[in-house]
Structure formats: C-alpha cells, structure tokens
C-alpha cells in the first residue's frame, strides 16, 4: 500500500490506501434510509470514488428520496438508536473537517464532477416529491427500472444501503 496525502472532506490528513482497481470505472449505489448517520457511509463511498474519477450514480429510494428535496434535506435526523451519540459524532466530524449537514455533504460529492444523485420515481410519488422541490444538486427523478437497466447494469460494482 502506498501512503499519499489526500484531503479529508475539509482538512489535509495523511492516509494509507491502495489505488482503486483499474477495472473500477463505474459505481452504482442505492440508498433507502434517510437517517443522518446512515447516510454518511454511502455518501463517503461516493465522495471517495468520485474524487478518484470513478463515475458514481446514486438512487435514493423510499424515505431517502426526501433527502433530495429542499424540505427533506433540512429535516434529516439521526437514527433514534444512535441519537444519544449525535453530539459525539458531530464533534468528530467537525474535528476531521467533514460536513456537519447532509446538504453540505451532497454539495461536496457533487463537487467531484463524477457523482449523480437520482430520486426514485416511485418513491417520489409516494412521498410527494416533484422536480420543482429538488435541491440544485439533484440530477432528477428516474424510474427505478431505468436506473437498473441503464445505469446499474453497466456499473462495475453496486452497493445497497
């Protein structure tokens, strides 16, 4: 493994990592949960891969589709099982220079130029999310079948959160 200097979402910290596989060019991620602490992992994967030039498409399904709306992104809360540790986690995020709000995290992943954020059409219908309600970082609402047929099937790796 090579040790290289990489920015950590806001600070410069030395990390040891292995360069991504030459075969990994596209990543598809499906997110179904809208809890703050449960969004951190898939968004971190998206940011890490996006900043390395890997194309990343994320489909927000079920409750997560609300994260792409102006109201929903401001209503993101911690998973109740971990809410008592919210201050602790936020302190560490701040210490490490990581975003403290999900909307800021979405802006960060989009800043790579390699990450697309899609809302699931069926979830959008269920949760009354329409195109006019989307945050500027959202790439639109897509049929889940189209995401699977046209995007996920061409990905080198798929993740589900």
- 113-142 residue pLDDT tens: 999 999 999 999 999 999 999 999 999 999
**Predicted pLDDT of residue 23:** 83
pLDDT bracket for residue 8 (50, 70, 90): low
Contact 39, 76 (CB under 8 A): yes
- Superfamily in which the 25-160 domain is placed by CATH: DsrEFH-like (3.40.1260.10)
State which H helix or E strand residue 79 sits in: none
Contact 41, 72 (CB under 8 A): no
User: pTM for the complete prediction?
Assistant: 0.86
Tokens 């994967």 sit at which residue? 45
Distances (CA, A) of 25 to 21, 62, 117: 8, 27, 17
- Mean pLDDT calculated for residue range 32-57: 97
């Amino acid at each position: 493994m090579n040790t290289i200097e990489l920015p950590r979402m806001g600070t410069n910290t030395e990390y040891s990592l292995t360069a991504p596989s030459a075969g990994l060019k596209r990543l598809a991620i499906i997110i179904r949960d809208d809890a703050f602490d449960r969004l951190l992992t898939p968004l971190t994967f998206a940011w890490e891969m996006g900043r390395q030039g890997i194309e990343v498409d994320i489909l927000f399904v079920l409750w997560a589709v609300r994260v792409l709306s102006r109201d929903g992104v401001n209503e993101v809360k911690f998973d109740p099982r971990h809410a008592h540790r919210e201050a602790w986690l936020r302190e560490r995020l701040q210490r490490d220079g990581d975003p403290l709000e999900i909307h800021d995290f979405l802006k960060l992943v989009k800043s790579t130029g390699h990450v697309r954020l899609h809302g699931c059409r069926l979830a959008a219908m269920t949760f009354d999310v329409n195109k006019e309600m989307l945050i500027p970082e959202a790439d639109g609402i897509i049929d889940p079948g189209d995401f699977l047929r046209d995007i996920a099937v061409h990905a080198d790796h798929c993740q589900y959160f």
